[in-house]
Each structure stands twice: as structure tokens, then as C-alpha cells.
């Protein structure tokens, strides 16, 4: 097998023709014979470059509304023939089939058509048959054929043409073939995802080229960021626009996602009259501050006051536009990232002084995205539905009742607690102005009693003028024993929320009744590992 092979004949048929002209002109200068179809043929001819219609080669016109154009032995024979196999070459000669050394083909925009909201019939017509078959054939026979399967490879291919004069090495051809199979595998996965029912257990992931990160969680770990393609990426943080700042790190992306999700969930959960704004402050995946108020200023102040020590170097997410006043608030405070639906020009001017500060534009997270959570374990993947939507059951199980104000606070608190790492305990309170905020949080402990005693209560006690008796305590899972209730009573807590479901639920309820504590069961656990 010869190492370097000259391109003598090319087949070009593309949907997107941007930046194709340079390649066509270079091929013409090298004396390459060009076959083409339809609009691509017209485009090449408009450049003054000789081009032959595929129909002239096959003896058949394009039929079935363009569904069948290149599916013919005279096309695929020329691509798939093994140049070192004498029998293959004899058959080419017998049937007057020219060798095709270069295939430049892209695919119908299936993903873009789906994303546009097109009808099912329109989407089906964007399932490419001939194009993907040509790409597969050329990639399979990379030992003899060069395949360029997307406009992303136009520049490296053109550079190769100019440097090597139309001669290619097997290593170069294999590189292009690898890129081609990346295109086809992603394309097939996108089609499968569209066809697949929502409850299917088959998983096909489609992601674009990975963005190399400086490192992973730690400097000695390599990392990359992949954005899921198509509908899976819609309305997510991965689609956020970066306005300024240094490159996002692995940890930045995780924390930003946690901030965006917790702010969005809090926004949807808090029942405030009129306008409302949610602000989340996240550090190491946990909200150290979370608030929903009628103004951005109050929400920001309360969220920051949740744990101002931990907020240092954190990520802050808003559900409202960041204006100049809000931007100025951060001038003497160190944070890594600000996320908001928009930034005013005046805010951007102020924040531009912090050159390393990242600004991300992302809309409010929908209440339900339908996403799945994918995590790796050694040798495999775990996949589950995202924990989305608010709890709908709030059953009072004690003799002491919840009043309406605490009930609304409980709904917000469940969302706040949901975003803390298990075992999680949250205390939420209302400000004098009626805003909801996270006033104490304990997370990531082997037992929830430690979360309550050692973390939640000490953090709450740093808040001046906040009544613990009017606050609500939330647990992300059931209380297995009455000890947590007894501890809560010791601190003066009067309102508690938990999923229920323990074999000792009745003991826990009795402990609440003895202490005069009102307790709600939601029937839904929110573990977060």
C-alpha cells in the first residue's frame, strides 16, 4: 500500500457551501476531476470551475424529490474499490467506474431542524441517507480515499492541499476518517434521541468537540467540557454566553451549574406577591446563601448574609438583570462568577474592572427541564432523572398546625434544602419585608443530627434579630429517630418539614407533639450525593 496518494478525482455534494470556494479553486488548480450534484454543482460552475454531474456518471437523474441522487454502484464502487486489489480494479474497468479519491460531503441539518420546532414530516426529510452513506464509505476506505465530512475540516484540508499539492499520507487520511465517524455517530445518536420514547432505557449521548480545561478538580487531573447537542442542551447552563473573564475551570462549571439550578428552583418555589428576584450564592456545590425578595438589592443582601465567610470566592446567580447599583455592590467583594439573564451596559463597565471575574448570561432555569443526570462510576455510568419540580404534598401530621405564612416558607425551604449535600438540614426564615432566605445550613454529614447541631444552628445564631420560633427547619430525608426532634425543641424550633417514611415515624410525631412542634410530611425525599 503506497504511503502517499494523489487526489485525481473528487465528489463534492454539500448542504452548507460557506468557505467551500477556496477548496474548489485549489482542486481545480491541481487538475482534479470534480463530480457534483444539484445546488453544489451550480455553485462550483458559478466559480468558473469545470464540474460533471453525478447523473452523467450514473445514467440516472435525481429522483423521489432528491431522496435518491448518489446511491449507485458507479459512485460507491469508485469510493470503495481497494486500489491494491487487482480484482477490484478489474471490475472498475469492466463497468467504467472512475476511482474517486476525495469525498466532500456534509449532512442535512437534522439537529437544527428539530431545534427549530419543525413538523415531524419536515424533520424526517432531514434524515440524510445518501450523504451519510458516502461519508461512511469514504471513511471505511481511508487507505485510499480522503473524506471531508463537515465545514470544520475545510481549513485543515485546504492547508494540506496547498502544502502537499494534493498528495496525502495514510495518517492524514485516517485523521479525516476519524473526524468523519465522529460526525456520523453524533448524527445517528441525534436521530435516535428524536425517535426514542421518553421512558426508553437506551442511552445515546451526543456532544460537540470537547473544550479542554486548564485542569480538573485538581491540577494533576486532565479535564474537558462537552456540550450536549440538540434538545438536551436547550435551556441549560451549557448554553450560557460568557461576556468576560478568564477561562472557566472544571470546578467553576460545577459550581455555576449548582448556583443556576438553586436560584431557579428558589424563584419558582417562593410565593411572593408581585415581582420577585432570587439570588443564590454557591461554594463547593452547596448554597451558602439563598434568598427570594421583591427587589434585587434585598435578595442579594439576604443571600450574602446567609454565610458571608463562605461566600468569599463563590459563585452568585441572579434571576434578574444586573444593573449598575448591583455591580457596584461587588466592587470590594471577591467572587469568581456572576450569572444573570442580562447585564446593563453600565453594569458591564463597572464589572470590567475585575478582569478575572467571569460574567455568564443565562436565563432563569425552567421549573422542569426534563434533563437526566449522568455520573460516572468505575467502569460505568449512572443515569437518573433530574430531581425537578416542587413538592405537592404538605401534610400536617402533628396536633400543632402550620399557619399559612409558615406553609409558604416551608415550600421555599424544601427547595433550599434540596440543593444541599446529604445529610442536609436547612433553616429558612422571612425577613421583616416578607422575603424568604436561608438562615442556617448543615450538609455533607454522615448523620443529620450533626448537620443540625454542629452546622445549621451555629450558622443561624450568627443572624441578628431573626426569630428561630418563626423559622422552619427542613430535612432532606426522614428522621430515623426522635433525637433530631428533641434537639430542635432544645433550640426553640417550632416548625419542621421532612419526607416521612421511617418505621419510627410515629415516635417522631409523638416527640413533636410533646414539644409543641408542627411537622409536615412531603412524601418525597431529596438526597443529594
C-alpha 87/C-alpha 95 separation (Å) is: 12
State yes or no: pLDDT of 341 exceeds 60. yes
Residues 144 and 53 in one domain: yes
- Mean local confidence (pLDDT), 119-139: 89
- Kindly state the percentage of the chain with pLDDT values over 70: 96
Return the exposure string of 201-228: e unless at least 16 CB atoms fall within 10 Å of the residue's CB, then b.
eeeeebbeeeeebeeeeeeeeebebeeb
Q: What is the model's pLDDT at position 205? A: 67
Residue 224 lies in a domain: no
Can you tell me whether residue 182 is helix, strand or coil?
helix
Evaluate if pTM is beyond 0.95.
no
- 291 and 165 inside one domain: no
Both 166 and 40 in one domain: the answer is yes
Q: Tell me the residue range of the domain where 272 lies.
A: 231-361
Q: How many domains does the chain have?
A: 3
Between 398 and 214, name the one with better pLDDT: 398
What is the model's pLDDT at position 199? 65
Q: Which tens digits make up the pLDDT trace of 491-503?
A: 999 999 999 999 9
CB 263 within 8 A of CB 289: no
**Domain contains 200:** no
Alpha-carbon span 50 to 10, nearest angstrom:
12
Phi, psi values for residue 39, rounded to 5°: -65, -35
CATH of the domain at 70: 3.40.50.1380
Distance CA 526, CA 422 (A): 8
pLDDT band with cut points at 50, 70 and 90 for residue 231: very low
| One domain for residues 243 and 184 | no
Q: How far is CA 182 from CA 128, 208, 302, 477, in A?
A: 15, 9, 48, 43
All cell numbers assigned to 4: 502517499
Q: What percent of the chain has pLDDT above 90? A: 55
Please report, for the domain that includes residue 463, its CATH number: 3.40.140.20
Give the C-alpha separation, 231 to 228, whole Å. 8
Q: Which residue has the cell 433550640?
A: 491
The arithmetic mean of pLDDT across residues 293-319, rounded, is 96
What mean pLDDT value characterizes the chain?
A: 90
Predicted confidence at residue 260, as pLDDT, reads 97
Q: Tell which of 342, 361, 380 closes a domain.
A: 361
Do 138 and 15 belong together in one domain? yes
pLDDT, greater one: 286 or 60: 286
On whether residue 503 sits in a domain, the answer given is: yes
Is 397 contained in some domain? yes
Sign of CA dihedral 300, 303, 306, 312: negative
Position 23 in a domain:
yes
Same domain, 464 and 512: yes
Q: Do 20 and 72 fall into the same domain? A: yes
Lowest mean pLDDT among 181-190, 283-292, 434-443: 181-190
Whole-angstrom distance, CA of residue 442 vs CA of residue 288: 10
Closest CA to 296 of 270, 271, 320: 320
- Is 140 considered catalytic here? yes
Give a yes or no: residue 370 inside a domain.
Answer: no
Whether residue 341 contacts residue 363, with contact meaning beta carbons closer than 8 Å, is answered with: yes
Condensed to tens digits (0 to 9), the pLDDT of residues 408-457 reads 999 999 999 999 999 999 999 999 989 999 999 999 999 999 999 999 99
pLDDT band at residue 92 under the 50/70/90 scheme: confident
Q: What angle do CA 23, 29, 33 make, to 5 degrees?
A: 80
Q: DSSP E strands: which ranges in 201-311?
A: 211-212, 224-225, 241-244, 277-283, 286-293
Catalytic residue among 6, 17, 234, 284: 284
Instruction: Give the mean model confidence (pLDDT) for residues 235-252.
Output: 88
340 found inside a domain: yes
Q: Assess if residue 96 is contained within a domain.
A: yes
Q: What is the pLDDT of residue 232?
A: 46
Q: Kind of pairing, strands 472-475 and 425-430?
A: antiparallel
Give the active site residue among 140, 201, 261, 355: 140
> What's the confidence (pLDDT) of residue 192?
85
State the pLDDT at residue 206: 63
Q: Regarding beta strands 472-475 and 495-498, do their DSSP bridges make them parallel or antiparallel, or are they unpaired?
A: parallel
The C-alpha cell at 268 is 419558582
Distance CA(440)–CA(216), nearest Å, equals 30
Question: 44: which strand partners?
Answer: none
Q: Are 495 and 457 in contact (CB under 8 A)?
A: no
- Judgement on whether residues 409 and 310 belong to the same structural domain of the protein: no
Distance CA(455)–CA(422), nearest Å, equals 13
Amino acid at each position: 500500500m503506497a504511503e502517499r496518494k494523489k487526489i485525481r478525482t473528487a465528489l463534492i455534494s454539500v448542504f452548507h457551501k460557506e468557505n467551500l470556494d477556496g477548496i474548489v479553486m485549489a482542486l481545480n488548480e491541481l487538475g482534479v476531476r470534480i463530480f457534483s450534484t444539484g445546488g453544489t454543482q451550480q455553485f462550483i460552475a458559478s466559480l468558473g470551475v469545470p464540474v460533471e454531474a453525478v447523473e452523467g456518471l450514473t445514467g440516472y437523474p435525481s429522483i423521489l424529490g432528491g431522496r435518491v441522487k448518489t446511491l449507485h454502484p458507479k459512485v460507491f464502487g469508485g469510493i470503495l474499490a481497494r486500489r491494491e486489489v487487482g480484482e477490484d480494479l478489474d471490475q472498475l474497468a469492466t463497468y467504467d467506474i472512475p476511482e474517486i479519491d476525495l469525498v466532500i460531503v456534509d449532512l442535512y441539518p437534522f439537529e437544527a431542524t428539530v431545534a427549530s420546532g419543525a413538523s415531524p414530516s419536515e424533520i424526517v426529510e432531514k434524515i440524510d441517507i445518501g450523504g451519510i452513506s458516502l461519508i461512511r464509505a469514504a471513511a471505511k476506505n481511508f487507505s485510499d480515499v480522503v473524506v471531508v465530512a463537515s465545514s470544520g475540516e475545510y481549513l485543515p484540508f485546504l492547508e494540506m492541499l496547498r502544502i502537499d499539492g494534493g498528495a496525502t499520507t495514510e495518517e492524514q487520511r485516517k485523521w479525516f476518517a476519524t473526524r468523519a465517524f465522529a460526525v456520523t455517530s453524533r448524527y445517528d445518536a441525534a436521530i435516535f434521541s428524536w425517535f426514542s420514547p421518553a421512558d426508553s432505557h437506551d442511552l445515546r449521548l451526543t456532544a460537540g468537540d470537547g473544550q479542554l480545561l486548564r485542569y480538573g478538580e485538581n491540577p494533576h487531573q486532565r479535564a474537558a467540557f462537552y456540550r450536549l447537542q440538540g434538545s438536551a442542551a436547550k435551556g441549560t447552563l451549557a448554553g450560557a454566553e460568557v461576556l468576560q473573564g478568564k477561562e472557566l475551570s472544571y470546578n467553576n462549571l460545577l459550581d455555576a451549574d449548582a448556583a443556576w439550578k438553586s436560584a431557579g428552583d428558589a424563584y419558582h418555589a417562593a410565593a411572593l406577591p408581585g415581582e420577585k428576584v432570587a439570588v443564590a450564592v454557591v461554594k463547593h456545590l452547596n448554597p451558602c446563601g439563598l434568598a427570594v425578595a421583591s427587589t434585587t438589592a434585598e435578595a442579594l443582601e439576604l443571600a450574602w448574609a446567609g454565610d458571608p465567610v463562605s461566600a468569599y470566592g463563590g459563585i452568585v446567580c441572579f434571576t434578574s438583570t444586573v444593573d449598575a447599583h448591583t455591580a457596584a455592590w461587588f466592587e470590594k467583594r471577591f467572587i469568581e462568577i456572576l450569572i444573570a439573564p442580562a447585564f446593563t451596559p453600565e453594569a458591564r463597565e463597572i464589572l470590567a474592572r475585575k478582569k478575572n471575574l467571569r460574567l455568564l448570561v443565562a436565563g432563569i432555569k425552567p421549573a422542569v427541564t426534563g434533563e437526566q443526570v449522568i455520573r460516572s462510576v468505575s467502569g460505568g455510568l449512572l443515569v437518573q432523572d433530574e430531581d425537578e419540580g416542587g413538592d405537592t404534598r404538605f401534610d400536617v401530621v402533628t396536633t400543632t398546625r402550620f399557619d399559612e405564612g409558615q406553609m409558604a416558607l416551608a415550600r421555599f425551604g424544601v427547595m433550599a434544602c434540596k440543593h444541599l449535600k446529604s445529610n442536609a438540614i436547612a433553616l429558612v426564615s422571612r425577613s421583616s419585608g416578607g422575603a424568604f432566605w436561608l438562615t442556617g445550613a448543615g450538609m455533607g454529614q454522615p448523620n443529620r443530627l450533626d448537620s443540625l447541631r454542629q452546622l445549621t444552628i451555629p450558622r443561624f445564631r450568627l443572624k441578628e434579630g431573626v426569630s428561630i420560633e418563626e423559622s422552619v427547619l427542613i430535612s432532606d430525608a426522614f428522621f430515623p429517630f426522635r433525637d433530631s426532634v428533641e434537639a430542635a425543641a432544645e433550640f426553640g424550633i417550632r416548625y419542621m418539614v421532612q419526607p416521612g417514611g421511617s418505621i419510627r415515624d410515629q415516635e417522631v410525631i409523638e416527640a413533636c407533639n410533646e414539644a409543641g412542634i408542627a411537622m409536615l410530611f412531603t412524601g418525597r425525599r431529596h438526597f443529594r450525593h
